Amino acid sequence: MKFFVDTADLNDIKDLAATGLLDGVTTNPSLVAKSGHANFIELIKEIAAIVPGPVSAEVAATDYAPMLEEALFLAKIAKNIAVKVPLTPAGLKVCKHLSEQGTMVNVTLCFSAAQAILAAKAGATFVSPFVGRLDDIGENGMQLIADICQIFSSYPNFTTEVLVASVRHPQHVVQAALMGAHVATIPPNVIRQLFAHPLTDKGLAQFVADWKKSGQKIL
Ligand code: E4P
């Protein structure tokens, strides 16, 4: 299972890339605005140089022609750019165009299995179902992941990877892994939560204390 970090914050990206556990990055217009970075293109360039895996950069236009123009421009920033397009008719048309020319595409804002099937048919590299936002409105985000994984497994010609997005807590990640989702894009604080267990802290404190008592040294 691949882990992407869902942020446009360069400090978080550098910090988490140093763990060696990061396979990619997803950004979106809201995350870019939150980062406070003044130049989107420079920001994406910097991120793509830090993390060798796919870096999602999202188009801003909503109509087909300007969206395609932006998408072609974003794709040229670096070899590891995945152009992110919304799950709309225009977005899927752009997705088809880009995937046919070998550019990675992440189709975002997916909230139904029907939409995920369309993204796969358009040749998306990734489709991003937003689990947290479905949970927020009283629906079952993880059930959507289960449905999409099941559907895709029946069609070997669908090469689209299920990228679980809008992750809110470690259980979303664990459930996504149990369902066989290919990727989870995870906010930095949730990635850090994945490391944590009180028994790990307690056990380590005990080992450190006992080692000190033993008076021994490794080096
Ligand atoms: C996905 O690519 C999006 O950037 C993201 O996961 C959205 O998450 P949110 O619902 O926490 O904004």
Instruction: Examine residue 48 and state whether it is found in any structural domain, yes or no.
Output: yes
The tally of domains found in the chain comes to 1
The DSSP bridge pattern shows strands 126-129 and 161-164 to be: parallel
Indicate which residue's Cα is closest to atom 8 of ligand 1: 166
Active site residue 84: yes
CATH of the domain at 204: 3.20.20.70
Residue type at 10 in one-letter notation:
L
Q: Which of 25, 28, 44, 110 to mutate to test the pocket of ligand 1 (most atoms within 8 A of CB)?
A: 28
CA distance 192 to 186: 10
Indicate which residue's Cα is closest to atom 7 of ligand 1: 166
Residue type at 193 in one-letter notation:
Q
Q: Which of 58, 166, 169, 190 to mutate to test the pocket of ligand 1 (most atoms within 8 A of CB)?
A: 166
pLDDT, tens digit (0-9, with 9 covering 90-100), for 148-185: 999 999 999 999 999 999 999 999 999 999 999 999 99
- Rounded to the nearest angstrom, the distance between the alpha carbon of 97 and the centre of ligand 1 is 24
Q: Which of 55, 185, 186 to mutate to test the pocket of ligand 1 (most atoms within 8 A of CB)?
A: 185
Instruction: Give residue 192's pLDDT band: very low, low, confident or very high (50, 70, 90).
Output: very high
Q: Which domain holds residue 71?
A: 2-213
CA distance 57 to 50: 15
CA distance 208 to 115: 52
Instruction: Examine residue 219 and state whether it is found in any structural domain, yes or no.
Output: no
pLDDT, tens digit (0-9, with 9 covering 90-100), for 124-141: 999 999 999 999 999 999
Task: Give the DSSP letter of residue 145.
Answer: H
Helix (H, G, I), strand (E, B) or coil at 109: strand
Q: How high is the pLDDT of residue 208? A: 98
Q: Which atom of ligand 1 is the closest one to the Cα of 133?
A: 10
Relative orientation angle of helices 113-121 and 89-100, to the nearest 10 degrees: 30
CA distance 127 to 141: 14
Instruction: Give residue 113's pLDDT band: very low, low, confident or very high (50, 70, 90).
Output: very high
The DSSP bridge pattern shows strands 24-26 and 161-164 to be: unpaired
Please tell me which residue in 84, 96, 121, 202 is annotated as part of the active site. 84
Q: How high is the pLDDT of residue 131? A: 98
Above pLDDT 70, what percent of the chain?
Answer: 100
* Ligand 1 site, CB within 6 A: 6, 26, 28, 108, 128, 130, 132-133, 165-166, 185
CA distance 4 to 23: 5
Instruction: Examine residue 218 and state whether it is found in any structural domain, yes or no.
Output: no
- Rounded to the nearest angstrom, the distance between the alpha carbon of 62 and the centre of ligand 1 is 18
CA distance 161 to 153: 11
Residue type at 70 in one-letter notation:
E
Q: How high is the pLDDT of residue 152? A: 98
- Rounded to the nearest angstrom, the distance between the alpha carbon of 187 and the centre of ligand 1 is 8
pLDDT, tens digit (0-9, with 9 covering 90-100), for 11-56: 999 999 999 999 999 999 999 999 999 999 999 999 999 999 999 9
> Which positions ≥6 away from 120 have C-beta within 8 Å?
127, 152, 155, 158, 159, 160
φ, ψ of residue 129 to 5 degrees: the values are -80, 135
